[in-house]
Amino acid sequence: AKTWILKQHFEGFPKDSDLELKLEQLPEPKDGEVLLEAVFLSVDPYMRPYSRVRMQPGDVMIGTQVAKVIQSKNPAFPEGSHVVGQCGWRTHTISDGTGLTQVLSDWPQDVPLSLALGGIGMPGLTALYGLEEVLAIKPGETVLVNAAAGAVGSVVGQIAKLKGCKVVGSAGSDAKVAFLKELGFDYVFNYKTVPSLEKALKEASPEGYECYFENVGGQFFTVALSQMKQRGRIAVCGGISLYNDKEPQTGPFPHLHVIFKELRMEGFLVWRWQHKNEESLRRLLTWLKEGKLQCKEHVTVGFENMPAAFKGMLQGENTGKAIVKV
Ligand code: NDP
């Protein structure tokens, strides 16, 4: 088995020398255990902040994969079936079933299994729960989402459109802007090239925003708060612009907007609604099959390229979900 180890904690943007590829000899699976072979691995933004709080140097990098059960001594996971597992960056894993979920039993043949790490997986659920449980969007409302061309953001915009909202998105390249327009976003801008974020947000929705799905943090967040409507709602999902900071930002919090606009802001983690996951994944899959949801992927080939895929995603190389195919 091959594994990627965190050699030392990342300081600032991840460096190749922070990670090390190691070979590992796996034992035979015991009763109750399975041997898994990774097929697709996910690289996600959370790996950067979690590596600091959940990992020690020498640990295998944290992460989820779609894996095939190649040997089974656990009847819950028959040989040949596929699972989504929190196995970390490994090609092969011995597991007693903890942290493994079967891919939906009625997963259609023509839908790539990699989507179980993207639009029909954790990022898709994040989009759905953020919109339905946290923001409780209503038809006719205007929803703002940043990092809009990514795994979560692209699904946020599409679901909000399905539910009758006006959607404004921002992304970091003109190609991403074009992609989001194809998806049906009402207004999209490249946050890297607009002369003024405030003007771009005003032009996109002169009357302001009822709902804001926040993925980025920093300057964007502050400016977006100033454009919220009275009693606007904000779902704080992520803060990717902050993850590589060496020191936590201590800049002033935009208090006055929160008070005078009477804003309601809630941070959330996708795991809160785990009990609904199976039903929710089926809903996402139904939208996909009906052609109402597109799940684009950015695929890097080769387990050896996990660090490159991870760094590329943090730098915005991906449109849609960043995936590694072993
Ligand atoms: P993405 O697929 O969106 O990939 C990350 C994207 O972030 C990049 O493609 C890049 O796109 C953008 N980005 C990188 N740096 C910056 C920056 N400085 N400013 C603005 N945008 C930047 O990742 P995900 O969809 O998986 O995740 C999106 C967000 O959702 C993250 O913040 C993540 O942590 C959060 N999240 C939260 C969960 C929860 O439970 N709360 C669960 C899952 C994700 P661009 O070219 O547009 O800059």
| In a shared domain, residues 152 and 45 | no
| Ligand 1 site, residue 319, Cβ cutoff 6 A | no
| In a shared domain, residues 192 and 313 | no
Using CA atoms, how far apart are residues 88 and 296, in angstroms rounded to an integer? 23
pLDDT digits (tens, 9 = 90+) for 12-70: 999 999 999 999 999 999 999 999 999 999 999 999 999 999 999 999 999 999 999 99
3-state SS, residue 46: coil
Average the pLDDT over 268-277 and give the result.
Answer: 98
Helix (H), strand (E) at residue 2? strand 2-6
User: Mean pLDDT lowest for which of 15-24, 173-182, 222-231, 242-251?
Assistant: 242-251
pLDDT digits (tens, 9 = 90+) for 68-115: 999 999 999 999 999 999 999 999 999 999 999 999 888 999 999 999
In a domain, 223, yes or no: yes
What is the best residue among 191, 236, 240 to mutate for testing ligand 1's pocket, by most ligand atoms within 8 Å of CB? Answer: 240
pLDDT band at 249 (very low <50, low <70, confident <90, very high): confident
Q: How far is CA 90 from the centre of its chain?
A: 20
Write out the two tokens for 233: 């709602």
3-state SS, residue 215: coil
Torsion over CA of 163, 166, 171 and 173, rounded to 10 degrees?
A: 110
| In a shared domain, residues 55 and 141 | no
CA 3 / ligand 1 centre spacing (Å): 25
Q: How far is CA 24 from the centre of its chain?
A: 29
| Helix boundaries (H) for the chain | 47-54, 122-129, 151-162, 174-183, 197-204, 218-226, 255-260, 277-289, 306-314
| In a shared domain, residues 63 and 95 | yes
What's the number of domains the chain is made of?
A: 2
| In a shared domain, residues 126 and 266 | yes
Cβ proximity of 256 and 61 under 8 Å: no
| In a shared domain, residues 138 and 172 | yes
Q: ipTM > 0.95? A: yes
| In a shared domain, residues 145 and 267 | yes
CATH number at residue 55: 3.90.180.10
pLDDT band at 253 (very low <50, low <70, confident <90, very high): confident
In a domain, 276, yes or no: no
| In a shared domain, residues 110 and 58 | yes
pLDDT band at 255 (very low <50, low <70, confident <90, very high): confident
Atom of ligand 1 at shortest range from CA of 240: 32
pLDDT digits (tens, 9 = 90+) for 157-175: 999 999 999 999 999 999 9
In a domain, 200, yes or no: yes
In a domain, 144, yes or no: yes
Q: Quick one: CA dihedral 128, 133, 135, 139, positive or negative?
A: positive
Q: What are phi and psi of 127, to 5 degrees?
A: -60, -45
| In a shared domain, residues 128 and 267 | yes
| In a shared domain, residues 182 and 245 | yes
| In a shared domain, residues 107 and 134 | no
In a domain, 69, yes or no: yes
State which residues form the domain around 195. 122-271
| Ligand 1 site, residue 269, Cβ cutoff 6 A | yes
In a domain, 258, yes or no: yes
pLDDT digits (tens, 9 = 90+) for 125-169: 999 999 999 999 999 999 999 999 999 999 999 999 999 999 999
The rounded mean pLDDT for the chain is 96
Write out the two tokens for 227: 């454009």
| In a shared domain, residues 102 and 171 | no
Cβ proximity of 191 and 170 under 8 Å: yes
List the one residue out of 51, 12, 45 whose CA is nearest residue 217: 45
CATH number at residue 171: 3.40.50.720
List the one residue out of 17, 54, 47, 43 whose CA is nearest residue 243: 47
| Ligand 1 site, residue 150, Cβ cutoff 6 A | yes
Quick one: pLDDT at residue 322?
98
Q: Which residue's entry shows tokens 């109402």?
A: 292
In a domain, 263, yes or no: yes
Q: Quick one: CA dihedral 316, 318, 322, 326, positive or negative?
A: negative
Cβ proximity of 118 and 286 under 8 Å: no
In a domain, 20, yes or no: yes
What DSSP designation does 111 have?
Answer: S
CA 318 / ligand 1 centre spacing (Å): 10
